[in-house]
Amino acid sequence: MRMVDLIQKKRDGYCFTNEEIDFIINGFTCGSIPDYQMSAFLMAVYFQGMDSLETTQLTMAMVNSGDIMDLSGIHGVKVDKHSTGGVGDKTSLIVGPLVAAVGVPVAKMSGRGLGHTGGTIDKLESIEGFHVKLSQEAFVEQVNKHKIAIVSQTGNLTPADKKIYALRDVTATVNSIPLIASSIMSKKIASGADAIVLDVKMGSGAFMKTLADARELAKIMVQIGKGLKIKTIAIITDMNQPLGYEVGNANEVKEAIEVLNGKGEAGFVKVCLTIAAYMTVAGGIYTDFIQAYAALSGVLQNGEALDKFKEFIDAQGGRAAVADNPELLPRARNHVELKSTLAGYIQNIAAEQVGIAAMLLGAGRKTINEPIDYAAGITLKKKVGDEVQPDDVLAVLHSNQTINPENCQILSKAFVIGPQRPGELPDVYDVIE
């Protein structure tokens, strides 16, 4: 078998056998297939695509390229949650404790962020003392005792995906649905989940810019799960504007605490409850979505979810007092208000532009080893549909570095103001089961 022949085969639109996909992934992982040939292969897939059988085999080849977590020691149905990424996405900080509070074990491995803001691990590290690393034994023990643990990705999980993703990033092949689907699902499967709930973001601030593309990605990932006998549900949610009001790390933890206190923006709360409800149905706690949604709404309001958050933070060495006093979280030295120069209604808030502005304030990373300013970020004071007048505050920029006019100019480009109130954006577009 020669790599050049396989590149030509996909270039010409033919499907691979399982053996051919295994050959490609094993060869690239061990180094016998060079980057330049893998780049050509990725570009061929980008243009020609893969069918569901090929995508499933690609997923499993990447799973089998490294370690697979053995979480059999955890009692109950382990339900994992994954978001395809967005701006202001702090749902794991809310959904995890909420689901754990009703008895579904949440054994989650998360990554650090690269780009707009930090990942779930960076957000948790903004809490003083929080340990993101646990041995596998301690991880299992904590989930059994507290029903939740969130740790940084460790070990040699899906090394093929790590190598392929790095290559996709520099060869303009990131936005390929089969490659995105196999990348996401391989990590989730290798992490030992019994069931997976996927939050597929759609809109200007997401990988999937259109509903059609988001549905296609969601369907492929659900098919992969079904093919591997793993219960998989995909929820398509909006990312045409940032999620909630806070973008950053410590300030997103602050907003998560607000939601766990039974408050928070209605649309954001709906997204969290929808994801959590499907997780608890997959975990066997409730029989249907409507029952689960109603029960979990009560758990948010009665304080049980907040209590579970405190228990979880304390169990991993963090300062649980932040749940009662969010002012204990890192606070920036510098704050600048961005004000409107126009009267009208907010037509759009470009999520990606807000994310870029947050990154330049120090809330995200341009390179994987760059330090993060946990206090940096942006607080939105207006959302799509809100009325504004000249001098109304649109957003507040936070940073420990000097906030210069350029930072404000970048953020101001995210806001589009027009004379008429726009139609409401759906928070949840579809559910694929």
Q: Which residues of the chain have a pLDDT value below 70? A: 112-116, 155, 367-369
The domain made up of 79-323 has a fold known as Pyrimidine Nucleoside Phosphorylase; Chain A, domain 2 (3.40.1030)
List the chain domain ranges. 3-49, 79-323, 331-418
| pLDDT at site 97 | 98
Annotated catalytic residue 131: no
Active site residue 161: yes
**331-418 maps to CATH 3.90.180.10:** no
What is the percent of the chain where pLDDT is above 70?
A: 98
Q: Spot the catalytic one: 81, 90, 123, 168.
A: 168
Candidates 108, 116, 146, 187; catalytic one: 187
Gap between the Cα atoms of 433 and 419, Å rounded: 40
Q: Which of 122, 161, 194, 199 is catalytic?
A: 161
Query: pTM to 2 decimals?
Result: 0.93
Count CB neighbours of 209 within 10 A. 15
| Beta partners for residue 397, in sequence order | 336, 378
Q: Please, which residues have CB within 8 angstroms of residue 239's CB and are 6 or more apart in sequence?
A: 86, 87, 89, 201, 202, 203, 204, 205, 206, 351
CA-atom Rg of the chain in angstroms:
22
The predicted pLDDT at position 116 comes to 64
Q: What is the pLDDT of residue 119?
A: 85
**Which 8-state DSSP code applies to residue 328?**
G
Q: 83 φ, ψ to 5°?
A: -105, 140
pLDDT of amino acid 205: 83
Residue 183 among the catalytic residues = yes
| Active-site residue, selected from the candidate residues 78, 81, 82, 215 | 82
**Domain 3-49: assigned CATH number:** 1.20.970.10
Q: Is 201 a catalytic residue?
A: no
